[in-house]
Amino acid sequence: MRVLGIDPGYAILGYGVVDYEAGRLRLVDHGTVETAPGQPFEHRLLAIADAVGDIIERTKPELVAIEEQFFAQNKTTALGTAQARGAVITEAARAGLRVYEYTPAEIKKAVTGAGRAEKAQVQLMVKVLLNLSEVPRPDDAADALAVAICQAFTGRLESFELYGGYQGRTARARGSGRG
């Protein structure tokens, strides 16, 4: 299974792609998408959407995992991040991919075993789990890899496997709809 993990943001968005087969993880790609502060906000969102579309086309993930926006001190930042998440989710849907969302605590628990782990602990475990010589940089990319690893390990895949992958672009009531 190939997973695209996303650490959402509108100034810097992290992405990480991993393969997970037979209990083993393998790094495929990681990096960031950065937008310029001086650009009109709609252009920043378009740049994010285009870049995510390119990443999906290039890496061919089977599904997308994204960090839920759980809490933010700054309302402007929270709204911008929410809109960037929307751009990512739209591109995933355009590619016919299912999107799974995880809270920061779920990601930390899946990667380290502790839902209150420090950022440095999560990044160290990303390095160990992917058998890398150093922690992936920048931090946003390492965080996105943690999201992908969370999906691989916890795999909210019941509906994905039962229904032969994400096929639909029509709404259907199946539980909470959160994957």
* Selected catalytic residue, list 91, 101, 106, 140: 140
Task: Tell me how far apart the alpha carbons of residues 50 and 86 are, in angstroms, rounded to a whole number.
Answer: 13
What length is written for the chain?
179
Alpha-carbon dihedral 98, 116, 24, 160, rounded to 10 degrees: -20
Residue 139 is a catalytic residue:
no
Task: Tell me how far apart the alpha carbons of residues 174 and 179 are, in angstroms, rounded to a whole number.
Answer: 9
Provide the 10 A C-beta neighbour count for residue 53: 17
Phi, psi of 64 (to 5 degrees): -125, 135
* Selected catalytic residue, list 7, 91, 106, 143: 7
Tell me which amino acid residue 170 is.
T
Phi, psi of 160 (to 5 degrees): -60, -50
Q: Give me 78's structure tokens.
A: 């929270």
Active centre residues (catalytic) = 7, 67, 140
